[in-house]
């Protein structure tokens, strides 16, 4: 059997762990720049606030119902996710982390009669150790486990853990599951299914194998098999080495200044370079893109430029300087720019990099040692006073006016308890 542990309203739950005042209140976690809602508590959802809605559109609801708005705190959420996953890993034979708030796990060692109690014990241990509430779904396949977890979260009668271990239970669950709620079926695919008269997961599962092969691609066939209890979604090893690294942001305020854009781009390039070094890689190519206000698709011709670096490198100063060169080649005076980004590609492991004969080895080693020192300092000090290239300036790129402290990852932000 396969289980799925799903953290309930994860971002909001992380905030509530360290701020109990938020319990029972409507809470919204906002995206970068505090632009739109990315996570909501059940109380906020009940008020009609949905994921992705711009905050300015629900200002009146927020004011009238005293909704607590929080800026996203990804370092906190990432650390809490790691803690949850490590607890699950201690309790099951194997685990596959699917997202920041979900993980599949194997229960092949469990007796059928104890599946529900095993799921409840995982929930209890996570809640006791981290304060994060979860739901657990257990079924013969990953897709059915997703369905089970959804029922566990939606219907209180399951007590947070739902087990689909028979054909009768599977049929009942699939009849109550809309086709658009099936894992792996996107909006376009569900629209096509509905146009063909298939509105529930059960109707899809009831089709014959011949019909499925004739009408749907491999992904649709795998989904059909999974819904019928036949495991078809295999675990794929996750590559820890990224083949492309992108850092981009929408600005807190638009700008028409090349100087300010250069500082932003230098910051993005620096982040890309540090990520390169973290995975022990070098890059050979860097690209820069810029978007004006009111155009999320870019400027068209001239909004994107790519340059080849002199040799494979993860050196911040080199990558930042070439990023600024690329920016200057596409910058046009006049429009106010809202967003920019840097992408580095042609990434290879340091040990496999072919270096230039015209750059002294001693200089390469010296710069590499410098970057190591910079990374060590920044990992200790954090983002408040980082060591960075002068070209990055001191401008704040994103607006984050309501972010909580990094309670679990920064000693100076550790929670304080006052007693008399």
CB 276, CB 314: distance < 8 Å: yes
Same domain, yes or no: 259 and 324 = yes
Helix axes 142-154, 167-175, angle to 10 degrees: 60
What is the residue range of 30's domain?
A: 8-76
pLDDT single digits (tens) 162-218: 999 899 999 999 999 999 899 888 777 788 888 888 899 999 999 888 888 887 788
Same domain, yes or no: 253 and 347 = yes
Same domain, yes or no: 278 and 184 = no
Starting at the edge strand found earlier in the chain, the sheet holding 2-7 runs: 95-99, 102-106, 2-7, 134-139, 161-163
Task: Report yes or no on 417 lying in a domain.
Answer: no
DSSP 106-143: E-TTS-GGGHHHHHHHHHHHHHHHH---EEEEEESSHH
Task: Report yes or no on 416 lying in a domain.
Answer: no
pLDDT for residue 302? 44
Q: Where are the beta strands (DSSP E) in 224-303?
A: 245-255, 281-292
pTM: 0.72
**Residue keyed to tokens 């992380």:** 14
pLDDT for residue 193? 81
Same domain, yes or no: 293 and 388 = yes
Same domain, yes or no: 271 and 364 = yes
Contacts of 73 (CB under 8 A, 6+ apart): 14, 15, 403, 404, 406
C-alpha–C-alpha distance, residues 325 and 282, integer Å: 19
SS3 content of the chain, % helix, strand, coil (to 5): 45, 20, 35
Report the number of distinct structural domains present in the chain.
3
C-alpha–C-alpha distance, residues 156 and 359, integer Å: 66
CATH number of the domain at 383, please. Answer: 3.30.1490.100
Chain mean position to CA 335? 31
Task: Report yes or no on 97 lying in a domain.
Answer: yes
Same domain, yes or no: 118 and 38 = no
pLDDT single digits (tens) 101-158: 999 999 876 677 788 999 999 999 999 999 999 999 999 999 999 999 999 998 888 8
C-alpha–C-alpha distance, residues 324 and 222, integer Å: 46
Same domain, yes or no: 352 and 328 = yes
CB 226, CB 141: distance < 8 Å: yes
- The rounded mean pLDDT for the chain is 86
Task: Report yes or no on 340 lying in a domain.
Answer: yes
Most confident by average pLDDT, 92-101, 125-134, 223-232, 353-362? 125-134
């Amino acid at each position: 059997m396969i289980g799925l542990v799903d953290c309930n309203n994860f971002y909001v739950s992380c905030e509530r762990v360290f701020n109990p005042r938020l319990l029972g209140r409507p809470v919204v976690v906002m995206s970068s720049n505090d632009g739109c809602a990315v996570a909501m508590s059940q109380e906020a959802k009940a008020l009609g606030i949905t994921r992705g809605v711009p905050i300015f559109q629900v200002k009146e609801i927020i004011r009238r119902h005293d909704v607590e708005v929080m800026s996203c705190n990804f370092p906190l959420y990432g650390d809490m996710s790691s803690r949850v996953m490590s607890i699950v890993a201690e309790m099951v034979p194997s685990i596959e982390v699917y997202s920041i708030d979900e993980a599949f796990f194997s229960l092949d060692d469990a007796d059928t009669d104890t599946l529900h109690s095993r799921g409840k014990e995982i929930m209890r241990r996570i809640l006791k150790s981290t304060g994060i509430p979860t739901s657990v779904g257990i079924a013969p396949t990953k897709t059915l486990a997703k369905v089970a977890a959804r029922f566990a979260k939606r219907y209180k009668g399951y007590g947070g853990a739902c087990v689909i271990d028979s054909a009768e239970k599977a049929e009942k669950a699939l009849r109550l599951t809309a086709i658009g709620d099936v894992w792996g079926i996107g909006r376009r695919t569900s629209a096509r299914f509905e146009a063909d008269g298939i509105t529930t997961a059960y109707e899809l599962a009831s089709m014959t194998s011949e019909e499925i092969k004739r009408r749907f691609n491999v992904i649709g066939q795998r989904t059909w098999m999974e819904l019928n209890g036949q495991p078809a979604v295999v675990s794929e090893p996750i590559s820890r080495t990224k083949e492309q690294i992108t850092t981009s942001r929408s600005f807190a305020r638009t700008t028409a200044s090349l100087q300010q854009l250069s500082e932003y781009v230098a910051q993005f390039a620096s982040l890309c370079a540090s990520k390169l070094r973290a995975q022990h890689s070098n890059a050979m190519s860097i690209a820069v893109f810029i978007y004006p206000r009111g155009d999320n698709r870019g400027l068209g011709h001239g909004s994107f430029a790519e340059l080849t670096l002199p040799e494979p490198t993860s050196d911040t100063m080199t990558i930042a300087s070439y990023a600024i060169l690329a920016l200057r080649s596409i910058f046009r005076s006049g429009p106010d720019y809202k967003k920019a980004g840097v992408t580095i590609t042609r990434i290879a492991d340091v040990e496999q990099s072919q270096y230039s004969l015209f750059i002294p080895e001693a200089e390469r080693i010296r710069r590499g040692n410098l970057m190591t020192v910079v990374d060590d300092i920044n990992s200790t000090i954090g983002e408040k006073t980082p060591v960075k290239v002068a070209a990055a300036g001191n401008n704040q790129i994103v607006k984050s006016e309501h972010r909580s402290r990094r309670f679990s990852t920064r000693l100076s932000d550790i929670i304080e308890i006052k007693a008399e």
